[in-house]
Amino acid sequence: MQKEKHYIPAVDALRIISILAVIFIHTTTRTLEASFFDLRNLPITFFINQVLRFAVPLFFIISGFVLELNFHLHESYLAYFKKRINRIFLPYLFWSAIYYFFVYKVHTENFFYAVIKGDASYQLYFIPALLIFYFLFPFIHNFYKFFNSKWLLIVLGILQLSFLYFDYYVRQLTLFYPITIALLNFFVFYLGIAIANNHERFISFAKKWKLILFISLLAFAVYINFEGLTYYLKTHNYLAFYSSWRPSIFIYTLLIGSFLYYLFDRNFKYTIIIKTLSRLSFFVFFIHVIILEVVWYAIGKNLFALTNGKISHQLWYDPLYFLAVTIVSFSIAFIVHKIPYLSKISG
C-alpha cells in the first residue's frame, strides 16, 4: 500500500512568505550599509528590515512541522538521511562552491571550514544549523510521545528565551557557530514538530485568538523596530538590529506565524501557483544574493545615490530593489527547474 504524503497549502504559503522576507531583509540591509547605518534618516527601510526578522525562525518551525508530518513516508532511517543529503546537502555544497570560488573570493579559511560553518556566503549560515536538526530529528520523533506535554513546551520556551536574552543583551554565545544557531532555534524547530502532532488544536487556537494575535504582533513589530534602533544607537554594534535572535523576535515569530497560518488555512483557488513558487524557493534562497549583487552594482547603487535618504524616495526605491531581485531570482529558478537533473544539484 502506497503511503500518502500530507500536503497543506498553508505551509507552502508560509514558506513563500519567509523567502520573500529573507530577500527583503537582504535588500534593505544593503541599503542600510550603503548609508553607513544612518538609521534615523532611513526609517522606512529600517522598519521593513526589522519587522521581517521572523523569516529564518519561521523556516525552522516549518522544517520541524514538515519533517514530522511526512516522516511516515520513509522506509528506514537510512532512507531518511539519504533523502536529506540529496535534497539539502548537495545543493548546499554546490552553492557553497559557487560563492566561495566565484563570488566572494577573499577568504580567511579554507573551503572545508566554509562549508562546515556556512561561511561561503552570508545567507548560508542557516543550512549547517538546519542539518544539525535534520540529524537529530529521528531521535526526537522516536521519543516525542514521551515528552508531548505543554509543561515541557513551557520549560523549553523559557530556556530558549534565556539563551536568546543572554546572546543578545549580555554576550554572544561563543560556541561553534552552527551549534550556536541551533541552540538559539531549538525550541522553534521542536514547536514545529509539536504543531504537526497537534494540528487541529493549533488551528482551533489560532482561530479563537486571531484578533489578539493580530494586535499583539503589531505591538511587537513596533517594539522590535524601537529595540533595534535604540540598542544600536546605544552600542553602535550593527548586530543590535542585524540579529534575528532576540527574545522579542522569538515571541513575534510565534505570533505572526500563528496568525499567518490561520489566514492561509483555507482552500486556495490557485494552489498550483503556491506549489510552484514554494518548490522554487529553495533555489531562490541560494541564488538571490548573487542577483542582489548584480542588481546593486548595475543600477541599485546609482539609484540609491539619488535618494539622499529621503523618505519619499524610500517609498519606491526599497520595493523596486526588492522586486527586481525577487523577479529575476524566481525567473532563473523557474528556467533551471525545467532542465532535467540540474535542479537536483542546484536546489
pLDDT above 60: residue 181: yes
Contact in structure between 279 and 337 (CB atoms under 8 Å): yes
pLDDT, residue 308, reads 65
Phi, psi angle pair for 331, to nearest 5°: -65, -45
Task: Return the axis-axis angle of helices 55-69 and 247-264, rounded to nearest 10°.
Answer: 60
- Reported as a single tens digit per residue, the pLDDT across 307-346 is 766 666 777 899 999 999 999 999 999 999 999 888 889 9
> What's the mean pLDDT in 136-158?
87
Could you tell me which residues come within 8 angstroms of residue 102 by beta carbon, excluding any fewer than 6 positions away? none
Neighbouring C-alpha atoms within 13 Å toward the C-beta of 7: 12
- Of the chain, the end-to-end C-alpha distance in Å amounts to 30
Could you tell me which residues come within 8 angstroms of residue 333 by beta carbon, excluding any fewer than 6 positions away? 280, 283, 284, 287
pLDDT band at 271 (very low <50, low <70, confident <90, very high): confident
pLDDT above 50: residue 15: yes
pLDDT band at 155 (very low <50, low <70, confident <90, very high): very high
Conformational region of residue 37, where left means phi above 0, alpha means psi within -120 to 50, and beta covers everything else: left
Sign of CA pseudo-dihedral 5, 85, 11, 220: positive
> What's the mean pLDDT in 239-252?
96
Q: Which of 133, 51, 123 is nearest to 281 (CA)?
A: 123
pLDDT band at 79 (very low <50, low <70, confident <90, very high): confident
pLDDT, residue 86, reads 84
| Highest-scoring range by mean pLDDT, 41-45, 83-87, 159-163 | 159-163
- Reported as a single tens digit per residue, the pLDDT across 281-300 is 999 999 999 999 999 999 98
More confident residue, 342 or 123: 123
pLDDT, residue 182, reads 97
Give the residue carrying C-alpha cell 523576535.
Answer: 249
pLDDT above 70: residue 279: yes
All cell numbers assigned to 246: 532576540
pLDDT, residue 82, reads 84
> What's the mean pLDDT in 48-74?
92
In the chain, what percentage of residues exceed pLDDT 70?
96
> What's the mean pLDDT in 56-81?
87
All cell numbers assigned to 144: 516525542
pLDDT above 80: residue 121: yes
| Amino acid found at 22 | V
pLDDT band at 1 (very low <50, low <70, confident <90, very high): very low
Q: Which of 289, 263, 328, 273 is nearest to 29 (CA)?
A: 289
> What's the mean pLDDT in 156-181?
95
Could you tell me which residues come within 8 angstroms of residue 70 by beta carbon, excluding any fewer than 6 positions away? 5, 6
By CB atoms closer than 10 A (0-12, 13-18, 19+), residue 166 is middle
> What's the mean pLDDT in 186-199?
95
Q: Give the separation between CA 280 and CA 91, rounded to whole angstroms.
A: 13
Could you tell me which residues come within 8 angstroms of residue 90 by beta carbon, excluding any fewer than 6 positions away? 344, 345
Average pLDDT of the chain?
92
> What's the mean pLDDT in 129-148?
88
All cell numbers assigned to 271: 494552489
> What's the mean pLDDT in 269-290?
93
| Amino acid found at 215 | I
By CB atoms closer than 10 A (0-12, 13-18, 19+), residue 146 is exposed
* Stated pTM of the model: 0.95
pLDDT above 90: residue 45: yes
Q: How far, rounded to the nearest angstrom, does the alpha carbon of residue 74 sit from its chain's CA centroid?
A: 26
- Please give the biggest Cα pair distance in the chain: 64
Q: Give the separation between CA 342 and CA 345, rounded to whole angstroms.
A: 6
pLDDT above 90: residue 236: yes
Q: Give the separation between CA 251 and CA 220, rounded to whole angstroms.
A: 8
Could you tell me which residues come within 8 angstroms of residue 259 by beta carbon, excluding any fewer than 6 positions away? 206, 210, 213, 214, 217
pLDDT above 60: residue 268: yes
Task: Return the axis-axis angle of helices 150-165 and 247-264, rounded to nearest 10°.
Answer: 130
